[in-house]
Structure 1
Amino acid sequence: MLDAHRLALLAEVAHAGSIAGAAQRLSFTPSAVSQQLAKLERDVGAPLVHRNPRGVTLTAVGEALLTHAETIVGELLTAERTVRALLGEEPAQLTVGTFASAGATLVPAALAGFREAHPAVALRLLDLEPPDGYGLVSSRELDLLITHHYPGAVLPDPRGLERSLLRSERFRLILPVGHAKAAVRRLTLRGLAGEDWISGSPGVPNRVCLEQLADAAGVRLRVAHESRDYQVILALVEAGLGIAFVPESVLERAGGARIEVRDAADAHPARDVFLVHHKRPGRLVTEMADRLRA
């Protein structure tokens, strides 16, 4: 039978991305982590990691085992928390993972309200770009994950977790103030094909979405500047360097940004924002989820 402690160590190595990083998190020496990992590999009968100068990556066997390791670690922590709850003890910490724009718009008020209601519970916020984070929820390193899905992207397997829709938000077209196309009554992607666009690099969700929209409209768009950070995109549009699609929630915090906000008649992109947690989330996780929905 595989050792649960060594499986937990595999999960730490995978999440840290290196043996040294896992050793620091576990307060072990790198040598001790390597030895335990080697013993797990002998138990399994196959290599679990590829070692390289920048850290480690999992082999196919390691990836398959990681899913089970995260679940086992999560179940052990669930058992411990269940006992603590029966003894009347409140969890010491609540950890939330979120992507950047949700961290700026949805999260602050929810965290502030939670802290006021539960001053003894330490709050921890992790910045995670989707699709990262599902494994951290499985292993209970995260109590609650806020993640998104763009058109054209693959929605990850929830891996036995509970995933619920928090909101769907449409994207708006933004142009610099005074842009010649801002005065056009009916904007289309075809009419904007000659413009410089600002979006993420190839493979980033907002870029995949933009390329899918362009394909549907039968045009090729030129991405002149690449950033996945919507605050950077806003600043570049303000500076007159291009045009972009941004989620409506980003515009809610744009304040006096010098931009024109329009819609494209032949493109109506939107992204779904999800909450992910264990099927037995616990009272405090449920309360935080309710605060986010509110």
Structure 2
Amino acid sequence: MEIDPRRLRVLLAVARAGGVLAAADLLHVTPSAVSQQLARLEREVGAALLERHPRGVTLTAEGRDLVEVAENIERELGEARRRLSARAGDLEGHVRVGGFQTFLSVVLIPGLPAWRERQPGIAIEIMEGSGDVLARELRAGDLDLAVVEYDADEAAAALPLSLREVPLLDDPWRLVVPAHSTAGEGLVAWDRLGAPWLGVDSSAAMASAAARVRRSLGDSGASVHRYGDYETALALVAAGEGVALIPSLALQRDLPEGVEIVDVPGLGARRVAVRHRTGRRALPPATDAVLAFVRELAAAAQGGVRPGESDAGTAAH
């Protein structure tokens, strides 16, 4: 079986765009040219790669396999470009990276000194913000990369064709409780926590995770207070005011006195991913290099466990 790798790029564009017409626009070619390349690729592999519907196309099992191969080739070519550019000493640029507090402070910012030694010609500018703000700035072109978070048990919102998401890690949720509460006795009965659940601002990324866990526990009691930041949540827990879900990355610091972490199976995790704009051309070499660095740092933070492979299961902020 001979497969022309150039046709895999066409299939990848169709998969990302959701149809032949949109893929043709993405590749700056005619729809007829896209259809011809797909037909030839199907003959080469001896299998149908797409299922055509009135509103677009979906990939067959064989199509999904080839798209995965195409993505691997794309990554390898990007790595080759980065290495050649680095060898030539011509990697320069200014890359703006937006994100939320825990990922920036625990994962990305501590890696900046090593980055300056590795790529002194590329400046990384850090911009902290909420999910909605980061999304707007990315679409407007004010950010090159945006690190986002959402509960991995919840279906992620569909992205526009102009954006692509690259998973980084799954960050397990942990239950934090006031020290010496009855929560440490095994949590057999959740009404014995000894403290109510803290309320979460509806705009915060962890709101859906807290609601999901409470539903799974059959908890319908009233919450107290309302927080949108983990520092506030930990301060309230330390004061004995309630219990909360906190992601593991936010607990990699000295905790306030009066806070205990309880291991509870099935809490899930938050999904952390990075998004960037797509177009007819590949990412600029400087942005591509920073993206690879962010993925490297995230893999190290999770000990090499990729999304979907976390022992904890699912999560948010």
TM-score class, shorter: 0.5 to 0.7
Deviation at 1:262, TM superposition (A): 0.8
Deviation at 1:156, TM superposition (A): 4.8
Deviation at 1:124, TM superposition (A): 1.7
Residues 199 and 101 (structure 1), Cα distance of their counterparts in 2 relative to 1, 3 Å cut: farther
Q: Which runs of 5+ in 1 are unaligned?
A: 1-84
Matched pairs, number: 206
* CA–CA separation in structure 1 for the residues paired with 2:136 and 2:209: 25
Amino acid of the residue matched to residue 240 of structure 2?
G
8 Å CA contact 1:171, 1:248 repeated in 2: yes
1:170 to 150, 163, 172: 172
- Once the two structures are superposed, the pairs formed by residues 155-194 of structure 1 within 5 Å of their partners are 155-182=157-184, 184-187=185-188, 189-192=190-193
Deviation at 1:257, TM superposition (A): 5.0
TM norm structure 1: 0.61
Partner residue, 1:228? 228
8 Å CA contact 2:122, 2:286 repeated in 1: no
* CA–CA separation in structure 2 for the residues paired with 1:221 and 1:293: 40
TM norm structure 2: 0.57
Partner residue, 2:197? 197
* CA–CA separation in structure 1 for the residues paired with 2:253 and 2:290: 22
Q: Identical aligned pairs, as a percentage?
A: 21
Residues 248 and 228 (structure 1), Cα distance of their counterparts in 2 relative to 1, 3 Å cut: same
8 Å CA contact 2:164, 2:275 repeated in 1: yes
Amino acid of the residue matched to residue 114 of structure 1?
W
Partner residue, 2:101? 100
Partner residue, 2:110? 109
1:237-293 CA-to-partner distances (Å, cap 9, x unmatched) read 12222111100111112357542111335x413110001113422222222222222
Higher mean Cα deviation, 279-288 or 236-245?
279-288
* CA–CA separation in structure 1 for the residues paired with 2:188 and 2:133: 35
Residues 131 and 215 (structure 1), Cα distance of their counterparts in 2 relative to 1, 3 Å cut: same
Deviation at 1:172, TM superposition (A): 0.5
- Once the two structures are superposed, the pairs formed by residues 71-90 of structure 1 within 5 Å of their partners are 90=91
Deviation at 1:154, TM superposition (A): 4.8
* CA–CA separation in structure 1 for the residues paired with 2:93 and 2:203: 38
8 Å CA contact 1:131, 1:156 repeated in 2: no
Residues 119 and 221 (structure 1), Cα distance of their counterparts in 2 relative to 1, 3 Å cut: farther
1:102-153 CA-to-partner distances (Å, cap 9, x unmatched) read 1221211233322233334433211121143234334432111100112447
* CA–CA separation in structure 2 for the residues paired with 1:253 and 1:166: 21
Verify: 1:137 aligned to 2:153, yes or no.
no
8 Å CA contact 1:143, 1:285 repeated in 2: yes
1:79-103 CA-to-partner distances (Å, cap 9, x unmatched) read xxxxxx9xx9654421000012212
- Once the two structures are superposed, the pairs formed by residues 4-23 of structure 1 within 5 Å of their partners are none
8 Å CA contact 1:189, 1:214 repeated in 2: no
Residues 284 and 257 (structure 1), Cα distance of their counterparts in 2 relative to 1, 3 Å cut: farther
Secondary structure in structure 2 of the residue aligned to 1:195: coil
Root-mean-square deviation (CA, aligned residues, Å) is 2.8
Partner residue, 1:128? 129
Secondary structure in structure 2 of the residue aligned to 1:101: helix
Residues 152 and 223 (structure 1), Cα distance of their counterparts in 2 relative to 1, 3 Å cut: farther
Secondary structure in structure 2 of the residue aligned to 1:148: strand
Secondary structure in structure 2 of the residue aligned to 1:254: coil
* CA–CA separation in structure 1 for the residues paired with 2:257 and 2:160: 37
Partner residue, 2:244? 244
